[in-house]
Chain A
């Protein structure tokens, strides 16, 4: 079955710096890769996703890149702000399977 590894587990940056979180997956048939943000005490919420027919997607300060050959994808946050502090989860899914398999999460701390 699918396995998703996420790194780093914790990340601390200064406000205004960039943050990068990386994930690798094992199932070459996976073709949907969402990223979720979970603030303390709240539910995970989708912030961006990418399907395998594109290599990069951007939404304001966040972007996701996908390398299907290497089976890895990354989340990039630019100009970080304190409100970006949260736990971020990557996930992978096959269209046919419909199950999301999550990475272990990255706790991002943005220091003012």
Chain B
């Protein structure tokens, strides 16, 4: 789904480095999310935002921060990367339908390796 893009797609970095993962969407959705995926653990929510001025912590926000620069852009930062942050990271977006949350659409993912 080219409507949700993530950069970079792959990144290898060293412990202690600052990393930013970026997400852009052209779907016109207000809601954006960051998840991490680890084998056997499914998708876990890191942060989410329902509009530009709204930022909320998810299940596993420690060690991460986010910025919602515009309706279409939502960035995830690791201030000081550590090896257990090695994972596959997904951005997702959703709108609302009849006042109810709608389907979430995922970006292609960013594979991050912290050495």
How many residues does chain A have at the interface if contact means C-beta atoms less than 8 Å apart? 23
Is there an interface contact between B103 and A49, defined as CB atoms closer than 8 Å? yes
Is there an interface contact between A45 and B101, defined as CB atoms closer than 8 Å? no
- Kindly identify which residue among B42, B45, B108 contacts A89, using a CB–CB cutoff of 8 Å: B42
- The complex places the Cα of A100 from the Cα of B31 at a distance, in Å, of 12
Is there an interface contact between B108 and A44, defined as CB atoms closer than 8 Å? no
Is there an interface contact between A98 and B103, defined as CB atoms closer than 8 Å? no
B90 proximal to A (CB < 8 A) = yes
Is there an interface contact between B42 and A103, defined as CB atoms closer than 8 Å? yes
What's the minimum C-beta distance from B109 to chain A, rounded to whole angstroms? 6
Q: A98-B48, A104-B40 are in contact. Are A46 and B104 (CB under 8 A)?
A: yes
- Kindly identify which residue among A9, A43, A51, A105 contacts B1, using a CB–CB cutoff of 8 Å: A43
Identify the B interface with A (CB < 8 A).
1, 31, 33, 40-45, 48, 50, 58-59, 90, 94, 99-101, 103-109
